[in-house]
Every structure is written in structure tokens, then in C-alpha cells.
Amino acid sequence: MSFEICELLGIKYPIFQGAMAWIADADLAGAVSEAGGLGIIAGGNAPKDVVKAEIDKIRTLTDKPFAVNIMLLSPFAADIIDLVIEEKVPIITTGAGNPSPYMERFKEAGIKVVPVVPSVALAKRMEKIGADAVIAEGMEAGGHIGKLTSMPLVPQVVDAVNIPVIGAGGVGDGRGMAAMFMLGAKGVQVGTRFLVAKETNIHENYKQKVLKARDIDAVATCQIFGHPVRALKNKLTAEFDKAEKEEMRKEVPDTERFDKLGQGALKAAVDGDIAYGSVMAGQIAGMINKEETVEEIILDLMADTKRVVNERAQIWA
């Protein structure tokens, strides 16, 4: 099998690991890259020295390509941009914003750039200014989300651009991965399944909550005010819903309230507070039922995709 995205990035399998803030560290990303996928260190809201330590560490764990994700809402985004250029990181992905102002610097530094896009308009803009590929992320995904689901988003982005499209949001097994390929994606990004990987350094409470989640538990909050986020239902998501109902009734809603409520909440969950922390996870959390190594996850995704594609092809032949 030969995959265009693998040739472009120098990886073996067309699987990106989601850049989960405070979660996707050098241990997880290094294991993913070593296993043949694209491991991605999440810049998240972390300062430059913390991200630099992860870059230093991943270089001791693998000599295969890896990426750093720049979360553009981060107060440290400008520092992380300087860092990836100084460190000659081979690939970057961006999320939660439009990276246009920085594209020229990335390209000058010879960095491959793969922005996350929630819409056709941003995908087209990214192609025009030199993105190497885009990740079309549907709102089935965990964390900060756009407005469209993967099924309509991915094929519309595929039709709109000539660069490779990576499908994200809702991919948990070979069926989801095969579906993304059917929609025209050249690869997938998977976050939630890696949450419970053996190499993932999060509190056991977080992993157990993902393992126990049902299909309807990964809910979207802040779809009216603030930044929309998908996380597993708990006291915090209930607080968000209550706050949104209250602010909706006001003539001048206090929108800053939502960012305050969310501040530090993901880190709190990663450290074990699964009641008031933000236990970000995608809608496929309900089908994640076992802890596996990163290598097992990647090899299973590949084998399961191949099986599903061949099985379905026979029905249609």
C-alpha cells in the first residue's frame, strides 16, 4: 500500500494522533511516530520552555518525523511559533484559528504546514497561501469544535482543494477510517482512542471515564457563547449549560464568564478532577472499551480498515 500523505511527510501509516492539549506529550507522540503514524506534540496553552522540553525529549525517543500543534488561541502562540522555527520542527499543525499571518515564516523555515480547518472557506485560503495539506475536523471530535460534522465537511473540503485532506472527528476504528477514505480523505486524525493508550500520561480517572462513556455522553458546550468544546458530561458541562441559559435571557450577556469557567479545566481533568474538570473526548468515546499500546491501536486501525474496505468492496462488486 502506498499513501500520498505518507510520502509527503515521510511516515509509514496515514494516521495522525490528535494534538490533545496537556495530553499529547513527547511520550505519546514519540510512541505514535515510532509505530509509523504521525505523532503530534500539543502546544496547547503551555509556555515555550515546556514545549521545548517535549521537543527535546521526543528527539531522544524517535528519529522518525513528528509534528507540533500550535493552538492559536494560546497566549503563548507567538512564542511557540518562534520555537518551532528555531528548533526546525519538520511538520506543524495548527488549530483553533487562522494561521495565515505566520505562513510565510513557516514556509521560509522549510516546515510542512497542515492546518485544521472547520470549513471550505478556510481550507481554500490555506491552500492558496501554501499549506501542504489540511485536516478537516468535524464536530464529532473532542475539544474545541467547529459547526459541521465530518460526513458533510470532508467531501466538501476534498472537492474544494487540490492538496491532501486528512479527515478528523468521529474516527475510532477501521470502519470510521475506511469511511474517511471513501469521503476522499488521504489520511485520518484520531484523538479519543489514544486517550486510553498505555503511553498516555493522564490520570487514571480520565481514562476510566472514557472507557465507561456511552454514545450520548460526549456533549458540546458553549455553542452559543464562548468557544464550543466537546467533553464528557459531568458537573462542569452542567454548569456551562446553566450559565448559557442564564446569559441567553440577558440583554447584554456576559460572554467572558464562559472562558473563565473553562480556564484550567482541561488540566484539572488530566490531573484527575473528572467532576469539575473538562474531560474532553469525541463522540466515539462510547466505543473505546480497552486500554492498548499505541502500536496495537495503529496496527489494529490499519488491519481493520483493510478488512472493512475489502469486505464492503466484495458486496458491491
Residues that bind ligand TUI (CB under 6 A): 21, 44, 71, 73, 95-98, 116, 118, 122, 137, 143-146, 227, 229, 262, 266, 280
What residues contact residue 56 under an 8 Å CB cut-off, 6+ apart? none
**Residue 262: CB minimum distance to ligand TUI, A:** 5
Report the alpha-carbon distance of residue 257 to residue 247 in Å, rounded.
9
Report the alpha-carbon distance of residue 121 to residue 125 in Å, rounded.
6
Which residue number, 179 or 269, has a Cβ lying nearer to ligand TUI? Answer: 269
Which residue number, 36 or 142, has a Cβ lying nearer to ligand TUI? Answer: 142
CA 49 to chain centroid, in Å, comes to 22
Which residue number, 6 or 280, has a Cβ lying nearer to ligand TUI? Answer: 280
Which residue number, 275 or 303, has a Cβ lying nearer to ligand TUI? Answer: 275
**Residue 207: CB minimum distance to ligand TUI, A:** 18
**Residue 24: CB minimum distance to ligand TUI, A:** 11
CA 38 to chain centroid, in Å, comes to 12
Cell of 313: 468492496
**Residue 237: CB minimum distance to ligand TUI, A:** 13
Sign of the Cα torsion 152, 155, 159, 164 reads positive
**Residue 16: CB minimum distance to ligand TUI, A:** 12
Report the alpha-carbon distance of residue 249 to residue 301 in Å, rounded.
46
Residue nearest to ligand TUI (CB): 143
Which residue number, 36 or 95, has a Cβ lying nearer to ligand TUI? Answer: 95
Residue whose C-alpha cell reads 516546515 in the numeric block: 111
Residue whose C-alpha cell reads 511520550 in the numeric block: 27
